[in-house]
Structure formats: structure tokens, C-alpha cells
Amino acid sequence: MNRLIVCLKKPCQVWALALAASLAFFACSNGDDVAGGVTDIGNSIAREPDTTKIAGTVVDMQGNKMPAARLTLYWDNGYAIEDSVETVADSNAQFEIKVASADMHGYLQNGQTTAIQYADSARGVINAFAGVYLYARSGSLSGISLPPSGKATEVRIGSRKALRGSMSGVASGKVHIGGTHLSADIQEDGSFSFDSIPPGMQEELIYSESDSVLGYIPFTIQDAGDTVVLPQLENYDGFLWNPDLSLLADAYGFNSYHTDYVVRFDTSRSAVNINMTGDEQVFGHNGKLADSVDYVDGVNGKAVLLKPGQYIDLDTLNPTGGDFTLSLWTKWNGPNGEHQVLFCQRAYWSDSTSRFQWHYEVNSGSFAVMKSVPGRPEAVLFGDSASVPVGEWAMLTLVSRDHKVSMYVNGKPVAIAGSEGAEFAGEFVPNELTRSVPFRVGGNEVETETWNGAIDQVSIETRARSPEWIRAKYEALKPE
């Protein structure tokens, strides 16, 4: 699923319905002893003629029915439980809760859970999160779900988990698991932890400061492992996210779920992907379009096999101004006595016309990141010719973060040459030029420096991808 994060709009673009100032229909349910049926404590929940029915079945993570499971419908303001109503599943593990439809307006609409607006007047932001949660438990098993209306739902329960996470640029406040009494303080380093939270197909982690909700992230935890680790989260105008979330989710032990209101925020950053569909511009060393291009079977579809002197041209693309990630898949034919270019940004190999190049360096037998002529002190050399397998598909990745470059092969870091496996990042700052120069893949203007092997799935991004993301991307495409 590519759609991952719920987007919160500004007040003029709000998509959720306003929350009623009070929710008198909910009954406080603090005790553990509840008889069959709905606990109402004198309110009009079950007697309201126009009611919304929330019904379904309680099962464990293996799909076994859980009769007599206790269920609680919680209203949560984002940092604490405000009210609740309880019931108990029958002998077939089925349950039903009825609440006044007028009071549920803003929670459940057209069979879908909608978000609650929570106004933060100090920041002028409308935050949105589900606000109503269905919590089930039976013995040591428990689980959370968002309750749809007008149709049966399946609430899954399982073993509780430890949860660990952190937030970038945050040193105070707290995070809260929606629909529970569980909250954790955010430490000075941005970290937080829960020793025991219920799993759930639809959960929400909500971030607040001084009882003001500032952001949230929806996620799913199933019954695997004892500890779930969230990637480092950023707070972005009311939602918590990580740019690598789409690939990190499975690796970290959780999934992010979506509602009807989602966008994929990682597409807002610059990225170029070349999948060898025939649209790529292949040139010869003379600067003219190639008369013919050879294609072979790739890691996914077709791959291009460049002839001597050919390269893929991306005009004057300039992704190296800050952090960046370059990657491709290759079936390398090995050293051939010449330099072999992976990516380069240059018109010619000199200080005034060359900004960056990543290539196999024949003189040192390593993979080099340079800004201009070989031998400059700014060159960073990785591994040796054995670092990249010959005759089989491999994913090569170069990451520049804060002007330090790291190389990966098949999701694993490659050590700096001569460091005996102790160093994996080297300082590198591309040349500052007074002119635009071509950005090329697989070769340059020198006829003999074409990459010696098939190339597929080229990716160029203006962000520094994490080691976990690189590993996950490799696992997603690696040949069987």
C-alpha cells in the first residue's frame, strides 16, 4: 500500500466534521465487573431511538472466537480517556453496542470512522485523530480497533507488546495510545517507551504538550514479536511521519494503515526513477543520441546493457547540493582494465567542470567517490572489486548525509578501503561550479569508462535514506 499517512488540513481546508462540545451519551465505566449487555448507568445511550449500532465478533490473532470477551468503547481527547461504554461478547463471541447517532456525529459516518478535529488555538492548527476506539480483552489478551458503524467488524486480540520510539527535534511532552489509559513522557533525547500496549489492527499514537494535541500517527501491530520499534518520527503540522515509512514498516514490526483521507508525503521531495522501459535517453560519448540500445532481462522487467561510450543522460540534473541517495541494480561483468562509471556530474574531468563522480577505480581496485581528477585528497574509496558480486544482480547504493558518504551493496555497508572494516563513512563535499554540467548514469564523455554490466532500477533522490530503508528496498526486489 503506497498511501500511508493521514494529512491534516488547515482550518479552511478541514475535511473532518466538528466535534460536539460534550458527549453526554457516554457512561463512565471504571469498574471491571460488567454484566452482559451494554452498561449505561442511567444515560440515554441504548434508549435513543435514532441509534448507531457498532457490532461484530471478537477473535484472537489466529481467528479463534473469544466468547465472553469484554469490550469498551472509549472516547479519547488525545491525551486521556474522557468517557466510555462497555459490553460483553456472547457465547458466539459476538457483541453489539448502540449509541445515539446524533452524539456519534463526527465519529462515524457512512460506515467509516472519521477524524475528530481538535483545535490548537495557539498554533492555529486543526489536529485530527479518530477519538473513538473499541478496546477488547479476554484474560491476558487484548486489542484495539476503530469501530465502523452500520456493519459488523472483527476485533482481534493478542499478546501485549513493548513499544519503543523517538521524535526528531522534540525534548518534552508525552505520547498517548488512543483508546487506552497509557501515556509515556518524551525524554530530552526525544525517545519514549511503553512496557506493555495492546496490539491492534488500527491504533493511534498521539503526541501532546500541556494537554494540547500536536500530532499523531496511525499504525497496526499484529501478534509477532515482543517489542515493536517505530522509526524516528517527525512532527509535521499535526501528523507524525517518517519519509522512509513505506519501506520501514515491515522491518520495524508494524504497518501503517490508511483512512479515506491520505496522501503520500514522500513524493513531495525530488526523486528520479528510471526503470528501463525505453523512455531513458541513452547517448554516445560524442554527445548524440545512441543509434541503438541493447536491453536484457533485468531484476524487474528489462535492463539496459550499455555499449562502450554510451551513458544514460539526465541533462543538468543537480541532486548533489545537499543530502542525496543514488542507487541502481546491476549484473556486473567485473573489472575490465578501465575506470567504470556508476554516476557522474561533470562535463570533463577537471576542477572547473567536474562536480561529482562515483565509479570503479581501476588504479586502486576500489569504488571511488571523487569531485574531480583522481588523487585529490577529497576522494573516498570503498571496498575492492570483490565488494560487488560478478554475474549476479546486486543493488548498489551511495548515500550522502551531512557531507559524509556511505556505500551499500545489497543493503549492507561497504567499509572504506584500508580501514580494516572500522570505517564506513567518509567526508565528501562536491565541487562548487560556476556552470551547469551534465548528470549521467553508467558512463561519461570518455568512451572507455562505460559501466561493464547490465543496469536496472536507477533511483536518484535528494534525501539521505536510512540503512533500514536501503535494506528493506533490497529485500523487496532481490531475486528469488
What letter would DSSP give residue 158? Answer: B
Domain boundary among 267, 301, 334: 267
Identify the pLDDT of residue 220. Answer: 82
Instruction: Report the number of distinct structural domains present in the chain.
Output: 2
| Domain shared by 340 and 258, yes or no | no
- Which cell is 439 given? 548528470
Q: Going along 8-93, which residue ranges are E strands?
A: 51-60, 70-76, 81-88
Identify the pLDDT of residue 6. Answer: 27
| Domain shared by 146 and 160, yes or no | yes
Identify the pLDDT of residue 371. Answer: 79
| Domain shared by 34 and 179, yes or no | yes
Domain that holds residue 102: 5-267
| Domain shared by 34 and 153, yes or no | yes
Mean pLDDT for each 10-residue chunk of the chain (480 residues)?
27 27 31 37 44 88 95 88 91 89 45 39 46 91 79 86 91 93 96 94 86 83 78 77 64 47 39 89 88 94 96 91 94 97 85 84 93 66 96 97 95 92 89 84 94 97 88 86
| Domain shared by 16 and 163, yes or no | yes
> Which residues, listed in sequence order, are joined to residue 98 by a DSSP beta bridge?
53
| Domain shared by 206 and 308, yes or no | no
Measured between alpha carbons, how far is 25 from 23 in angstroms, rounded to an integer?
A: 5
Identify the pLDDT of residue 392. Answer: 97
Residue 220 host element (H or E): strand 212-221
For 49, other C-beta atoms within 10 Å of its C-beta total 7
CATH code assigned at 447: 2.60.120.200
Identify the pLDDT of residue 190. Answer: 94
Domain boundary among 212, 235, 267: 267
Whether the CB-CB separation of 125 and 237 falls below 8 Å is answered with yes
- Which cell is 374 given? 583522481
| Domain shared by 398 and 416, yes or no | yes
| Domain shared by 312 and 180, yes or no | no
For 220, other C-beta atoms within 10 Å of its C-beta total 15
**Sequence-ordered list of residues with C-beta below 8 angstroms from that of 448, at least 6 positions apart, any chain:** 308, 309, 338, 339
Distances (CA, A) of 47 to 51, 104, 140, 312, 458: 8, 14, 33, 71, 62
| Domain shared by 138 and 246, yes or no | yes
CA 248, chain centre distance (Å): 5
Give the closest residue to 197 by CA, choosing from 220, 231, 172. Answer: 220
Identify the pLDDT of residue 99. Answer: 78
Distances (CA, A) of 302 to 205, 279, 395: 42, 12, 15
Bridging pattern class, strands 302-305 and 271-274: unpaired
pLDDT for 295-331, tens place per residue?
Answer: 999 999 999 999 999 999 998 888 988 999 999 999 9
Identify the pLDDT of residue 150. Answer: 53
| Domain shared by 225 and 276, yes or no | no
| Domain shared by 369 and 344, yes or no | yes
Domain boundary among 267, 285, 316: 267
Whether the CB-CB separation of 427 and 421 falls below 8 Å is answered with no
3-state DSSP of 255-295: ECCCCCCEECHHHHCCEEEECCCCCCCEECCCCCECCCCEE
Strand, helix or coil for residue 180: coil
**Sequence-ordered list of residues with C-beta below 8 angstroms from that of 70, at least 6 positions apart, any chain:** 32, 34, 86, 87, 88, 89, 136, 137, 138
3-state DSSP of 290-311: CCCCEEEECCCCEEEECCCCCE
> Which residues, listed in sequence order, are joined to residue 345 by a DSSP beta bridge?
356, 439
Give the closest residue to 230 by CA, choosing from 200, 250, 213, 215. Answer: 250
Q: Note the helical H segments in 199-355.
A: 245-252
Q: Which amino acid is at 150?
A: G
Distances (CA, A) of 332 to 73, 144, 305: 58, 49, 10
DSSP string covering 387-417: GS-SSSEEEEEEEEETTEEEEEETTEEEPBT
| Domain shared by 220 and 316, yes or no | no
